[in-house]
Homo-oligomer: A and B are copies of this chain.
Amino acid sequence: MSYTKLEKTFYRLSQLSQASSFLGWDQQVMMPAKGNDSRGQALAELSVIATEIIQSPELEDAFAAAEEEVDLEPWQKINLSKMREKWLKANAVPKALVEAQAIASNQCEYAWRSLRKQNNWKDFEPQLTEIFNLSREHAQALVTGLEKEKTYQNEYEALLDLYDPGTKLTRVDDVFDALKQVIPELLHQVLERQRLQPKPTRQSHSIDKDRQVALSKHIMSLLGFDFDAGRLDEAAHPFSGGSSDDSRITTRYSPDNVLEGLMGIIHETGHARYESGLPKAWRNRPIGQSMGMGVHESQSLFFEMQVGRSEHFIQAISPKLQQYLGRDPAFETDNLLTLYRQVTPGLIRVNADEVTYPLHVILRYEIERDIILGRMEVKDIPERWNEAMLSYLGLDTRGNFTDGPMQDIHWPSGAIGYFPSYTLGALTAAQLFSSLKKDVTDVDDLIGKLEFTPIFNWLEKNIWHNASSLNYDELMTQVTGETLNTEYFIDHLKNRYL
């Protein structure tokens, strides 16, 4: 009975989280400006209710009793351990610290929006210092609170574990070391090769929004997005949300640069397909949730990088672009391939190509890890940032905070330990795609015919349907025969860009 009681508690938490997710979507997409304060209050209250539920003292007895229950099915035992982990993480951290973090990150994120525009590192630095201090405290609380359950190598690993449960720091270091050894030389070769190639042509005519919406929806439908179970809307800062049965993707439409947003939509469709492919039988239970940010990103990058930017896909959608948007030399296959595979070392992570992106991530990882572990301070970030950008990408960033260490929302909003997921996701996607090619014949041919069903079935069976019932290493071994191996990603880059 205690197990059932715990399931009810986590069902309630799941419903609260779902309510917050849609209220948050509405806030970004629909809400008029003056609704913001009361929306903030409502979201804050739902969050306090959820915290009180998971910190309720009676849960301790319920967990103790549930551990003794002998008639649990194997999946229920896994679910119990997932509930336990969430409960431990939520209770390891003092309420006062959680509140202090919420206030500090709200303030810092708010200040960041204007300070970034003003290139004002000086006023940003003390606020960011506070964010990192509180995050370090949070990490220390996790290390102490979970010492019987988890053997975190250090505080930073405890933060990683919040975003990507089970990821070890040694894994991250091994992977990033390998990439640091290979990518700079690879980048050099790619740029050399690219110099001899034609430059991509930009779109020549302005395209109204209705046509862009129609094209976007058509491509999403081709990729299996079910518009009876989701929507595509506009948002000033695109994001995705919603729930498994109701995916909410957002984008921005630029009349003069249609191609920029298109890959973003394919990317978000991958996130949405993962969520909607999670098993219905496990809904509203921790075992039924997605595995973590790394695997989530692997699905969006599988859609975007492995499928969306592949030669066969681009060949197949070039006529669609001409059909929906009108004829334009920019929409010819060769130009699309050139454009969507352009490699350019740049200052901004979110604009980075596949080759340079990991270096942006590694830079951020090294800095945030070293601050959490007390090896450097927030005030040292600009210097360290400049050194790394010079060394990794040959770019001088001195004095440019806006497009330097102030460019991302992650740090001011308190999301420390998140960045590695992006690159772990890219590597996972490459490895999964390689396995797909072994399991399903003629993958390129299927993509070229826009016949994705066998590919989606493979993803559903191998990834989506497992939800959180396996850990990451188990999943990768089961699907690809080995744990994460950097070679697949490096081969992918070499094949595509050399």
Q: Which residues of A contact B (CB under 8 A)?
A: 11-12, 15-16, 18-19, 22-23, 26, 30-35, 37-39, 41-42, 45-46, 49, 226-231, 242-246, 283-284
Asked if A22 and B32 make an inter-chain contact with CB atoms under 8 angstroms apart, the answer reads no
Top 4 A-B residue pairs of the complex, sorted by shortest distance between their CB atoms:
A35-B246, A15-B45, A34-B229, A15-B42
Out of B38, B42, B226, name the residue touching A244 (CB < 8 Å): B38
Assembly stoichiometry (copies): 2
Q: Are B30 and A15 in contact (CB under 8 A)?
A: no
Asked whether, in the complex, the Cβ of B32 is within 8 Å of the Cβ of A231, the reply is yes
Contact status B19-A46, CB under 8 Å: yes
A10 to chain B, nearest CB (A): 12
Do B246 and A12 touch (CB < 8 A)? no
Cβ contact within 8 Å between B227 and A35: no
A226 to B35, CA, bound (A): 11
Q: Return the chain B residue nearest A31 by Cβ.
A: B246
Q: Is the pair B30, A18 in contact by a Cβ cutoff of 8 Å?
A: no
Least CB distance from A245 to B in Å reads 5
Q: List 19 A-B contacts (CB under 8 A).
A: A12-B45, A12-B49, A15-B42, A15-B45, A19-B23, A19-B46, A23-B23, A30-B231, A32-B231, A32-B246, A33-B228, A33-B229, A34-B245, A34-B246, A35-B242, A35-B243, A38-B245, A39-B246, A49-B49
Given A22-B26, A245-B37, are A46 and B228 also a contact pair (CB < 8 Å)?
no
Bound form: Cα–Cα A227–B230 in Å? 26
Chain B residues whose C-beta falls within 8 Å of the C-beta of A242 in the assembled complex: 35
Please name all residues of chain B whose beta carbon is closer than 8 Å to the beta carbon of A26 when the two chains form the complex.
22, 26
**A283 to chain B: which residues have CB within 8 Å?**
38
Closest chain B CB from A278 CB (angstroms): 12
Task: Report B-chain residues with C-beta under 8 Å of the C-beta of A19.
Answer: 19, 23, 42, 46
